[in-house]
Amino acid sequence: MKSIYTYFNTTTLAALFMATVMIGCSDNSTGVDDDDAIVIPIQTTNQATVNLQTAGSYVILAGSEISNIPTSVITGDIGLSPAAGAEITGFSLVYTTGDEFATSSQITGNVYASDYGDPTPTAMSTAKDDLTTAYNDAAGRTSDETVSLSGNLGGLTLTPGLYNSSGSLEISSGDLTFDAKGNADAVFIIQIASTFTTSSDRKVILAGGAKASNIFWQVGTSATLGTTSVMKGTIMADQSIAVNTGASVEGRLLARIAAVTIEGNTVVEPAQ
């Protein structure tokens, strides 16, 4: 018989309540036998998408710095504000003073900064304001069906809805799957009060028609993506985002206050 219980693994605790979706539990997760399962509730309340407004025009948007250790492959525009263009490094930018944007052989798109030619300063300021609005929207969402998570998400499958953590989250002992259950418009919002980390080689997997454009990670402090990991969705971090060597992202890296740092990464705009 399947049971409902609090899920443990060797490093973390995930408080997961009632049951409809069942995922097999590994032998080292608890003292529970193999007939039991990790249980995630299917939420019936559909979450509206998080409207990024003009912040959604960028695959990377940061406040203090965008640094790159070559060679990265970026598909989409990147932007920096309020810091100046001198804080965008590692891209060998081609820029003439007074131009609205710069270019780079590593970027299929344009590069914008707060001190570039008009109308870029105003556009960048607006984008950062829109990011703050989107971040606050995601952080402020509530639902009677919110599922509380804690610790390691590895090995879990999440269905559409709102998820909340009062501390940090990580993807470490396995991959994380988002299953839209056949609904391509399904939205996933993960509220994280503190840090978000993925270990090396860990993957976020899309199933059942799930789209990276409909996954939103609201991170209360900073996010770090491990070496050669695979991330899906928009990360909105209050502080910084660090992407380690060889990691790939289908989504957006949006740091409200501080830096986005990348190292030989692939970052592509999510398919709509």
SS3 string, the chain, reads: CCCCCCEECCCCEECCCCCCEEEECCCCCCCCCCCCEEEECCCCCCCCCCCCHHHHHEEEEECCEEEEECCCEEECEEEECCCCHHHEECCCCECCCCCCCEECCCEECCEEECCCCCCHHHHHHHHHHHHHHHHHHHHHCCCCCCEECCEECCCCEECCEEEEECCCEEECCCCEEEECCCCCCCCEEEEECCCEEECCCCEEEEECCCCHHHEEEEECCCEEECCCCEEEEEEEECCCEEECCCCEEEEEEEECCCEEEEECCEEECCCC
pLDDT at 5: 24
**Residue 189 counted as domain residue:** yes
**Range in 13-22, 31-40, 70-79, 87-96 with the lowest mean pLDDT:** 13-22
pTM of the full structure: 0.87
- Average pLDDT score over the chain: 89
pLDDT at 40: 80
| 34-65: pLDDT as tens digits | 333 355 878 999 999 999 999 999 999 999 99
Domain count, the chain: 1
Parent domain of 201: 49-272
**Residue 167 counted as domain residue:** yes
pLDDT at 39: 55
